[in-house]
Amino acid sequence: MKIEEIRGKTGDELEIELQKMRREVFDLRFKSSTQALTSPARIRQLRRLVARMETVLSERRLGLRGNSAS
């Protein structure tokens, strides 16, 4: 998901996506400790995506970027 797509979502949509992504990261990390993952790079991708979403939410709270989607 690109940053433009993230900025195009509302705050509520971002919160829901963020919860899903965090859960998936947790599940993948847990799974990686017990067995081999088919795509170990997925953890890194998800962590970066979570960081992007948190950044956009923080920018909106602080008023640093336009709130066109909220």
Distance of CA 15 to the CA centre of its chain: 9
What are the structure tokens assigned to 20, written together? 């899903």
Q: With contact defined as beta carbons under 8 Å apart, do 17 and 9 qualify?
A: yes
Residue 69 lies in a domain: no
> In tens digits, what is the pLDDT along the chain, a chain of 70 residues?
889 999 999 999 999 999 999 999 999 999 998 888 888 899 999 999 999 999 999 999 999 876 655 4
Q: What local confidence, expressed as pLDDT, does residue 67 receive?
A: 61
Q: Provide the number of structural domains found in the chain.
A: 1
Domain that holds residue 57: 3-62
- Assigned domain for 17 exists: yes
> In the prediction, which pLDDT does 57 show?
94
